[in-house]
Amino acid sequence: MNRRGLLLAAASAATATSADAQQSVAIALGRTQVGQLPDGFSTARTGQGAPSAWSVAEDASVPGGRVLAQTSTDQTDYRFPLAIYDAVIARDVEVAVHFKAVAGRIDRAGGIAVRLVDADNYYVLRANALEDNVNFYHVVRGSRREIHGASARVASDQWHTLSLKAIGDQFTIGFNDKVLFSVSDRTFGNAGKVALWTKADSVTHFDAMTIRTVA
């Protein structure tokens, strides 16, 4: 069975979610009609500017030909669109996703948010194709602050893998299947949701999202 087949099989086998039960969920982000939001997701936005614009879009570079995309090109700098996966609420979690930075003049980024309480409170790991770096932040009451970061080549219009493991106050950051760094932080210690994230006018495609909670 190919990688996409394994992901779809895992998605079909996923059971009800809770913060206490260990589970692994593979989310086929393109398994709905073009222009619609995948089942289980809601949208939000941190900061200012236009609302986020998330929907399934065509992309021939992936099996199945569809991805989840943030397509708004609003150039408000302090604007962070979120696509929130509402089915999983967990503190200790491992999340991975494939992303492709397609366009953006102000920013060209994609990321993963964990322990999301609401649109103004969460951790976020993001990779930026204009800055060639991967940074980890906390967002508290809508204010984003960097915890740690590393330089990395983030080529535009190419698929990359971003991963974030959160266990207690320890966070492990991965990019293209390699660990970039680990860091500790105690800002958010409770369970929260998982989300996909972009910034400003970033047009970003996402595929093959996996979530594994750790009991």
Domain 3-213 of CATH type 2.60.120.560: yes
The string of pLDDT tens digits covering residues 172-213 is 999 999 999 999 999 999 999 999 999 999 999 999 999 999
Residues 6+ apart with CB under 8 A from 205: 57, 59, 67, 68, 69, 99, 100, 102
Tell me the three state secondary structure of residue 92.
coil
Between residues 15 and 214, which one has the greater pLDDT?
214
Q: What is the pLDDT of residues 30-51, one digit of tens each?
A: 989 999 999 999 999 999 999 9
The per-residue pLDDT of the chain, averaged, comes to: 91
- Supply the pTM of this predicted model: 0.89
User: Domain spans of the chain?
Assistant: 3-213
